[in-house]
Structure 1
Amino acid sequence: MRIAVTTPTGNVGSRVTQLLIQAGVRPTLLLRDPSKLSPETLERVRAVQCDQRDTEAVIEATKDVDALFWVDPPTSDPDPIAAYAALGANAARAIEHNGIGRTVFQSSVGAEKRHGVGEIDGLARTEEQLDRLDTAILHLRCGYFFSNLLLNLDQLREGYLPTTFPPDRPIPWVDPRDIGDVAAARLLHDDWSGRLVQAVHGPTHLSYTQAAEIVSAATGRTVKAVEISDDDLRQVLSDQGLTTDQVEAMVRMSSGLREDFTPENERSVLTTTPTSLGAWAHAVLRPLLS
């Protein structure tokens, strides 16, 4: 089985890569800098230096591939939604040109809304482009990554977790490694077809208030959820040097999900994954906050 993996050093892609290697597959890894891989990983994979923004490079790197794990990597483009749409177009061209039979795409809860959800709109554009292909496509609609808390280390040290989302409204939180588990299982299983959507919701929905309580218990630090306004977030992001489009793309990811949004996928045995926020926070956050 020939499987290609994008963003193989990321939170999800690294887990997919590990599981494929352990399953006896020698995956093709697309990444800008193969030297970021450990020597023992390099021995067990086909590492291809590839910028996913380069259409011809993506096509060449995915020749003779049976299945593809595609992630739109983080972008610093002044217009992130357009950048994600362009990445999706590259994926679609490579899949069609090389006759790739199965593709698992890392999308997000909210992509089903299609418009008005900031950067997630870019993932929706990728979904739409992949859906036009006559091949098997699976969109993994992922919840809020536990690892996003790493962006708030300074605030957590000061005892608060900022959010523009209503602090008491539950949302799905998920360990990125569990997303990797689901993706790898789908890539290794070849008896599916058509256009599929599968959410990855983590073990339970949590509000920011509950998340702060869990982080407090796991790290030994008292943390409270604090609601901030969209304008507060705009100011923080602008102070970091982001463009207006970049700022709005990030702000709308939460504001767009506050407004008239009903997820396409309800929580079920298919969408529920095992790792709790408490276990992750104890293993990952606690050492960083001690």
Structure 2
Amino acid sequence: MIVVTAPTGNIGHQVLEILLRAGAPIRVIARNPGHLPDKVRDKIEVVEGSHGEAAVVEKAFRGAEALFWLAPPDPAASSVTAAYVDFTRPAAAALKARGIRRVVGITALGRGSPLADKAGHVTGSLAMDDLIASTGVAFRALAMPSFMDNILRQAAAIRDQGRFFSPISGDRKLPGCATRDIAAVAARWLLDDGWSGQGDVAILGPEDISFNEMAGIMSEVLGRPIRFQQIGFDAYKARFLQSGLSGAMAQGMADMARAKDLGIDLTVPRTPENSTPTRFRQWCEDTLRPAVTDPAP
């Protein structure tokens, strides 16, 4: 039995689909089971509730062998520690009590970097990993740079203004990965019962690319000029405050972006093993273009 958290999220629902195609027995933890498609709900066990609650994870972990762990977004959290570490404490206790053998988690690049202790959400993610590892469970932390899919948050600005924004330098080349590739790697580890020990697994996408290069590719794919505009870190934080994040979580986003601008995502050398296949151009054609193109009448 494999337990999947965040099964309706951007990564979780793709992990769930791959596991279903493989015929694996699956139990999900869902705060809103009604958000699961009917055809999926009929093939899985569902435990309703938050995977940050002790009673929920204790029930969900009973008799299971493997766990896909993803801390969900918590815009109102009082700190990044609360959003990642405190949220995970009940699950860490239940891992010991219920005998889960293997955990595959979603985290960030940056372990070992001098920037890791002041990188906002990255710092919180790494501390969460330490908590899970302290249970002694076999653990693979899938360590990611920024997701290509995060650009969809700016789909309206790309469509209406022909621009997208970040405080990171437009010429800074950084790795980026597609969530579909993350899901594929996660599912592969979850379906493999032959591993043990603990460690990070970097997922770097196929290339390092700058925002200015992204703008050029977007322009070609969308058939109109798209421009990248660098903004200040204070303005970046203000955007998250306006969208409803708490002060601590908005500051965490700004601190994470600053660490990325300083190169925290470049701490792991690129290899064939950690380079996933989806290139940014392909992602734009498959995902961005439908999101910013007005539907046909």
TM-score w.r.t. the length of structure 2 is 0.92
Q: Is 1:150 aligned to residue 152 of structure 2?
A: yes
Q: CA deviation at 1:176?
A: 0.2
Q: CA deviation at 1:246?
A: 2.1
Q: CA deviation at 1:24?
A: 1.0
Q: CA deviation at 1:260?
A: 6.4
Q: Is 1:214 aligned to residue 228 of structure 2?
A: no
Q: After the TM superposition, which of the residue ranges 276-285 and 193-202 deviates more from structure 2?
A: 276-285
Q: After the TM superposition, which of the residue ranges 140-149 and 278-287 deviates more from structure 2?
A: 278-287
Aligned equivalents of 1:89, 1:241: Cα separation in 2 = 25
After superposition, the Cα gap between the structure-2 partners of 1:166 and 1:57, relative to the gap in structure 1 and judged at 3 Å, is: same
Q: Is 1:27 aligned to residue 52 of structure 2?
A: no
Q: CA deviation at 1:120?
A: 1.8
Equivalent pairs counted in the alignment come to 289
Aligned equivalents of 2:241, 2:136: Cα separation in 1 = 42
Q: After the TM superposition, which of the residue ranges 32-41 and 76-85 deviates more from structure 2?
A: 76-85
Q: Is 1:169 aligned to residue 168 of structure 2?
A: no
Q: CA deviation at 1:88?
A: 2.3
Aligned equivalents of 2:19, 2:148: Cα separation in 1 = 23
After superposition, the Cα gap between the structure-2 partners of 1:111 and 1:50, relative to the gap in structure 1 and judged at 3 Å, is: farther
Contact 2:109/2:265 (8 A) holds in 1: no
1:3: which partner in 2?
Answer: 2
After superposition, the Cα gap between the structure-2 partners of 1:53 and 1:77, relative to the gap in structure 1 and judged at 3 Å, is: farther
2:196: which partner in 1?
Answer: 193
1:134: which partner in 2?
Answer: 136
Q: Say which of 219, 228, 239 aligns to 2:231.
A: 228
Contact 1:198/1:265 (8 A) holds in 2: no
Q: Is 1:272 aligned to residue 271 of structure 2?
A: no
Q: CA deviation at 1:289?
A: 2.0
Q: CA deviation at 1:255?
A: 0.6
SS at match of 1:197: strand
Q: Percent identity?
A: 28
Q: Is 1:92 aligned to residue 92 of structure 2?
A: yes
What residue identity is the alignment partner of 1:115? D
Aligned equivalents of 1:217, 1:94: Cα separation in 2 = 50
Structure 1: runs of 5 or more not aligned: none
Aligned equivalents of 1:26, 1:57: Cα separation in 2 = 19
Q: After the TM superposition, which of the residue ranges 211-220 and 263-272 deviates more from structure 2?
A: 263-272
Aligned equivalents of 2:150, 2:277: Cα separation in 1 = 18
The CA RMSD over aligned residues, in Å, is 1.6
Aligned equivalents of 2:78, 2:266: Cα separation in 1 = 26
Contact 1:70/1:91 (8 A) holds in 2: no
SS at match of 1:196: strand
Q: Say which of 242, 245, 255 aligns to 1:252.
A: 255
Q: CA deviation at 1:241?
A: 4.1
Aligned equivalents of 1:86, 1:97: Cα separation in 2 = 18
Contact 1:29/1:46 (8 A) holds in 2: yes
1:178: which partner in 2?
Answer: 181
TM-score w.r.t. the length of structure 1 is 0.94
Q: After the TM superposition, which of the residue ranges 105-114 and 11-20 deviates more from structure 2?
A: 105-114
Aligned equivalents of 1:239, 1:11: Cα separation in 2 = 23
Contact 1:160/1:223 (8 A) holds in 2: yes
Q: CA deviation at 1:284?
A: 1.9
1:105: which partner in 2?
Answer: 105
2:14: which partner in 1?
Answer: 15
Contact 1:80/1:119 (8 A) holds in 2: no
What residue identity is the alignment partner of 2:171? D
After superposition, the Cα gap between the structure-2 partners of 1:260 and 1:148, relative to the gap in structure 1 and judged at 3 Å, is: closer
After superposition, the Cα gap between the structure-2 partners of 1:255 and 1:186, relative to the gap in structure 1 and judged at 3 Å, is: same
Q: After the TM superposition, which of the residue ranges 5-14 and 108-117 deviates more from structure 2?
A: 108-117
Structure 2: runs of 5 or more not aligned: none
Contact 1:112/1:263 (8 A) holds in 2: no
Q: After the TM superposition, which of the residue ranges 264-273 and 108-117 deviates more from structure 2?
A: 108-117
What residue identity is the alignment partner of 1:243? S
What residue identity is the alignment partner of 1:172? P
Aligned equivalents of 1:262, 1:241: Cα separation in 2 = 27
Contact 1:146/1:277 (8 A) holds in 2: yes
Aligned equivalents of 1:252, 1:96: Cα separation in 2 = 33
What residue identity is the alignment partner of 1:26? P
SS at match of 2:164: strand
What residue identity is the alignment partner of 2:292? L
Contact 2:47/2:59 (8 A) holds in 1: no
